[in-house]
Amino acid sequence: MPSAMQELFAAPLVRQLTARILVDGMNDMVLDYAIPDGMAGVERGSRVEVPLRNRTATGTVLAMGGQGDGWSGALRPILRLVNDEPVVSAVLMDLAEWAARYYAVPVEQMIRCIVPEPVRQERHDEKTRKVVVLQNWPDDDQLNKINRRAPRQAAILRLLHASADKREPLTALGGTPALTPCRALEKAGYVRIEEEQVHRDPAGSETFAPSTPLQLNPEQASALNSIREACDKGSSRPILLQGVTGSGKTEVYLQAARHAISQGKGVLILVPEISLTPQTMARFKSRFAEIPGGVAILHSAMSDGERFDEWHSIHRGKARIAIGPRSAVFAPVQNLGLIIVDEEHDASYKQENTPRYHGRDLAVLRARMEGAAIVLGSATPSLESLHNVHQGKYALLRMDKRADGQRLPLTRVLDMRTEAKDKRNLGILSERLRMAIDERLNKGEQTILLLNRRGFARALQCPECGYTAHCEYCALPMTYHATENRLVCHICGYRQVVPPRCPECHTQNIALEGYGTQKVEAVLRRCFPEARLQRVDADVTTRKNALRDILSDFRAHRTDILLGTQMISKGLDFPGVTLVGVLNADLGLNIPDPRAAERTFQLLTQVAGRAGRGDLDGEVIIQTYNPQAAAIQFARRHDTDGFAETELELRQMMNFPPFCHMAVITAKSEQEGIACLAMETLHRHLVAALPPQVQISTPLPAPLAKTYGQFRYQCTLKAPSARMLSDICSREIAALNCGEGVTLSLDIDAYSFM
C-alpha cells in the first residue's frame, strides 16, 4: 500500500486532542492545531507557540476541540505551552465571548483587548529587551542634515530627546524595523543601544509619601459601610454612589479599596482617560505606598514596555490595584473583590471604534462573573444607572454635602438673546461675563471658560428668540444638510424645508449656529490683551503630555484663563478658580442625540463643580439662547434628581434609552453612490428580517456626512433587547456581500449618532 493511503486509513484510529487558536498577528487568524501526546496543561486561555507556514508564532487558545476532531497528520501540532497557567482566566474568556456576541464582533477582537499588543509580542525567551539611550543631541544644523538624509533617524532622535529620561525601549521607537536606523545612529555616536532586564519594577524609581486616611463624615462613613458589606458578602449587585462634586467620593474609594486589599482581594478602578492625571495617580499610590508596586496604572500614553510591565505585574498578583480607562476593564487582576467605576456617566467609557464595547457595562458584568462588589460613582449619574436603581437592580448610596464644607457655587444663567444685537463680540461674550472675567483678572483669581462643542452637526437657531427647529416626531433637533438644503431628523428621517423666517418671532435673522475655540480665543485676546490665556482643545493636545503641561501651568497660576472644550470639565481640582463661564450651553443641546440634554446637564453640573474649590466662593455664568431648557435650569439649581425625573419621563414617552436599546449602522465608502446603495440594500433586507418590535429609520447621510474622505450613510434602530439587534443585524451585514470599497459597521448601544 502506498504510504499516503496507509496514512489515510490509519488516521481515524488515531484520536487526538485539538485546540482552536487565535494566532497573534495583524489580522484575525483562527486555526486549529493538534495537542501532541504528553503535552499537559493546554486549556482555554493558554498561550502557546505554534508553527505557521515556515515560522513559529504565538497565540491564545480560544477553545478546546473534542477528541478525534482532526486527522492525524492533517493538523500541525502545538509546539510549546508558553506559560504553565492559562494567561487569560476563565472569567475573562467568558467575558470576551459574552461581549463578542452582544456587540456582534468576532471573539478574536475581544481577546485582543484582553491580551494587549505588548503582551502578545512577548517572546518566552526574551528576558531582556533593547533600550535606546540618547548620547549626543545634534545641533540644529546636524539634525537638519540627518533629517534630509535619513528622516527616520531624525525622528528617532527627536523621540528620544522628548522622552523624560532620554531613553526609550526599541518597541516604543517602532520595534524591530527601527533597529537599523538605531544601529546607524549608534555608529555615528548619537545613541547607545543597551540590553535591559524586561521585568523591571515599574514603580521602582518613584516614591510616594504615604497618606493617612481622612476621618470620614457621616455620609461617607455610611457609604463606605455599605460597600464593605457588599465586598464581604461577595454581592455583585451594583451600587450607585451619587455624590455631589466635592463630596469626597475619592476618599471613599480609597478606604473601600483598603478594605478589599486587607481581605486579600484585588481591586479594579476605572476612570475616564482624561482624569487619569498625575494627581489621581499620586492619590492612590500614596495611600498604598507601603505595598511597593501595589498600584498599577494602565493608560494609553504609556509605552509598550511600560504597559507590558504593568500588565504582568497585575497578572502575577504583585499589583493588587489596577487603575485605568475603559480598556482596563480587562486587566488581569487576581482574586478580584471590588470594582470602582468613577464618573460612571462619562461618555469615554464607550469605545467609538470596533469593538464598540461599553467599559462600565462590561464592568458590571465582570463583577457578576467574579462575585466582586461594584461601585458606580458620579455626581451626575447616567439615566441608564438611575433607571436601574428605580427598577431595583442597583442599590443607591447618596452623598449630598461637600466634604470640604464649601458651598456649591452660585450659578447665573445669561440670556444671550438680549446680547445678540451687540455685534462687537460676535455674540460670543456677554457684557456680564466680560466684566466678571475682568474682575477676576484684577483680583489675581483664575477663570475657566468652556466652549461646548460636540461634533459638527449644525442646527438652526434663532438668535433673537432662541427658537430651534425640532423634529415633530422625536422632539430632537434637526440637522441641516447643505447638499439638499433641508433640515433632517436623524432618528426617524423626517425632512423639513429651512424656514426663511423664524416661525416664532418672524425675524429673518435666523441662522445656522456654530463657532470654534480659535475664534473665541481671538475675541478673548482682543478683550483681555494683558491676560495669560491658554486654549485647550484637540488641536492643542495632540502633542504627548501637552494637556498635563497646560494643566500644571494653570495649577501653578502661570495662566489666568483656561479656554477649552469638554476636556477641561472633568475631575480637575483647582483651588484658584473662582469663575467658570460656559460660552454656549446650547450647542450641546442642538445635536441629534437622545442623550444631548443629559450630556449638557452633566457637563454644566461638572464644570460648575470646578468653581470655588478652595477658600474662595465660586461663580458660574452660563450663556444661552435657551434659558428655559430643562438641562440648563436644573443644572443651575444643582438639581440632579429633578433633571433625571423630567428627562426619564421624556425618554419613556419617546421610547429612547434606557427604555430601549439603540443601534447605528454606518456604511462608508469613497464613492457616495456606493455607500448609499449599500445602506439602502441592507435597509431593505433588515426591514424584511427584523421583528415588528424593532423600529428602523430610513437610510440617511450621516450628520458627519463625510470623514477622512469617506462618505457615510446610516440607519438608526430601536429595539426592546440588544440581542435582537446584534444577532439579526450582524447576520444581515455578513450576508450582504457588498464587496470592496465599502465598509459596514454596527454600533450596539450607540452613544454617538453622528
CA separation for the pair 288, 254 (Å, rounded)? 9
Comparing CB distances to ligand ADP, the nearer of 405 and 529 is: 405
Comparing CB distances to ligand ADP, the nearer of 493 and 614 is: 614
To 5 degrees, how large is the angle CA 594–CA 471–CA 476? 20
Q: Please report, for the chain, how many H helices and E strands are present, in that order.
A: 21, 31
* 467 belongs to the binding site for Zn ion (CB under 5 A): yes
Helix-helix angle 249-262:278-287, to 10 degrees: 40
Comparing CB distances to ligand ADP, the nearer of 146 and 224 is: 224
**Binding-site partner at residue 502 among ligand ADP, Zn ion, none, CB < 5 to 8 Å by type:** Zn ion
Least Cβ distance, residue 404 to ligand ADP (angstroms)? 4
**Residue sitting closest to ligand ADP (CB):** 248
Q: How far is CA 748 from CA 494, 712, 721, in A?
A: 23, 18, 10
Least Cβ distance, residue 417 to Zn ion (angstroms)? 9
**Binding-site partner at residue 465 among Zn ion, ligand ADP, none, CB < 5 to 8 Å by type:** Zn ion
* 601 belongs to the binding site for Zn ion (CB under 5 A): no
Least Cβ distance, residue 498 to Zn ion (angstroms)? 14
Comparing CB distances to Zn ion, the nearer of 43 and 504 is: 504
Contacts for 611 with CB less than 8 Å, ≥ 6 apart: 409, 448, 577, 578, 579, 580, 618, 619, 620
Least Cβ distance, residue 507 to Zn ion (angstroms)? 5
Residue 188 burial (CB count, 10 A)? 15
**Binding-site partner at residue 462 among Zn ion, ligand ADP, none, CB < 5 to 8 Å by type:** Zn ion
Do residues 376 and 349 lie in contact, with contact meaning Cβ atoms separated by under 8 Å? no
**Binding-site partner at residue 248 among ligand ADP, Zn ion, none, CB < 5 to 8 Å by type:** ligand ADP
In 3D space, the residue among 459, 448, 461, 463 whose CA is nearest the CA of residue 481 turns out to be 459
Comparing CB distances to ligand ADP, the nearer of 342 and 537 is: 342
Least Cβ distance, residue 397 to ligand ADP (angstroms)? 12
Comparing CB distances to ligand ADP, the nearer of 238 and 248 is: 248
Q: What one-character DSSP code corresponds to residue 358?
A: B
Residue ranges binding ligand ADP (CB under 6 A):
214-217, 220, 243, 245-251, 403-404, 573
**Binding-site partner at residue 404 among ligand ADP, Zn ion, none, CB < 5 to 8 Å by type:** ligand ADP
Q: Which three cell numbers stand for residue 152?
A: 527616520
Rounded to the nearest 5°, which phi and psi values hold at 447? -130, 140
Rounded to the nearest 5°, which phi and psi values hold at 412? -110, 135
Least Cβ distance, residue 614 to ligand ADP (angstroms)? 9
Q: Is 415 exposed, middle or buried (0-12, 13-18, 19+ CB in 10 A)?
A: middle
Least Cβ distance, residue 636 to Zn ion (angstroms)? 23
Comparing CB distances to ligand ADP, the nearer of 405 and 709 is: 405
Least Cβ distance, residue 642 to ligand ADP (angstroms)? 20
Comparing CB distances to Zn ion, the nearer of 150 and 511 is: 511
Comparing CB distances to ligand ADP, the nearer of 46 and 250 is: 250
**Binding-site partner at residue 301 among ligand ADP, Zn ion, none, CB < 5 to 8 Å by type:** none
**Binding-site partner at residue 467 among ligand ADP, Zn ion, none, CB < 5 to 8 Å by type:** Zn ion
CA separation for the pair 439, 278 (Å, rounded)? 31
* 625 belongs to the binding site for Zn ion (CB under 5 A): no
In the window 394-413, what residues touch Zn ion (CB under 5 A)? none
User: Which helix (H) or strand (E) is 403 found in, with range?
Assistant: none
Q: What is the edge-to-edge ordering of all strands in the sheet holding 128-134?
A: 167-169, 128-134, 191-197
Strand 17-23 and strand 55-64: the pairing is: antiparallel
Least Cβ distance, residue 478 to Zn ion (angstroms)? 15
Comparing CB distances to ligand ADP, the nearer of 159 and 216 is: 216
Do residues 383 and 647 lie in contact, with contact meaning Cβ atoms separated by under 8 Å? yes
Do residues 586 and 460 lie in contact, with contact meaning Cβ atoms separated by under 8 Å? no
Exactly one of 462, 577, 611, 675 binds Zn ion (CB under 5 A); that residue is 462
Q: What one-character DSSP code corresponds to residue 357?
A: -
Contacts for 583 with CB less than 8 Å, ≥ 6 apart: 428, 429, 449, 450, 451, 452, 520, 623
Residue 558 burial (CB count, 10 A)? 11
Comparing CB distances to ligand ADP, the nearer of 251 and 593 is: 251
CA separation for the pair 634, 604 (Å, rounded)? 10
**Binding-site partner at residue 574 among ligand ADP, Zn ion, none, CB < 5 to 8 Å by type:** none
Least Cβ distance, residue 626 to Zn ion (angstroms)? 12
Could you tell me how many residues of this chain bind Zn ion (CB under 5 A)? 7
**Binding-site partner at residue 504 among ligand ADP, Zn ion, none, CB < 5 to 8 Å by type:** Zn ion
Least Cβ distance, residue 487 to Zn ion (angstroms)? 15
Q: How far is CA 596 from CA 128, 159, 332, 530, 571, in A?
A: 50, 40, 35, 36, 21
Q: How far is CA 597 from CA 551, 721, 748, in A?
A: 28, 24, 21
Least Cβ distance, residue 276 to ligand ADP (angstroms)? 14
In the window 492-511, what residues touch Zn ion (CB under 5 A)? 502, 504-505
Q: Which three cell numbers stand for residue 166?
A: 532620554
Comparing CB distances to ligand ADP, the nearer of 249 and 358 is: 249
User: Which helix (H) or strand (E) is 13 found in, with range?
Assistant: none
Q: How far is CA 699 from CA 411, 471, 689, in A?
A: 42, 17, 16
Comparing CB distances to Zn ion, the nearer of 493 and 499 is: 499
Q: Half-sphere exposure (CA, 13 Å, Cβ side) for 310?
A: 21
Least Cβ distance, residue 217 to ligand ADP (angstroms)? 5
Least Cβ distance, residue 605 to ligand ADP (angstroms)? 11
In 3D space, the residue among 306, 355, 304, 294 whose CA is nearest the CA of residue 326 turns out to be 355
Comparing CB distances to Zn ion, the nearer of 505 and 677 is: 505
Comparing CB distances to Zn ion, the nearer of 500 and 529 is: 500
Give SS3 for 741: coil
To 5 degrees, how large is the angle CA 608–CA 287–CA 235? 80
Q: Which three cell numbers stand for residue 358?
A: 461599553
Least Cβ distance, residue 607 to ligand ADP (angstroms)? 13
User: Residue numbers of the site for Zn ion (CB under 5 A)?
Assistant: 462, 464-465, 467, 502, 504-505
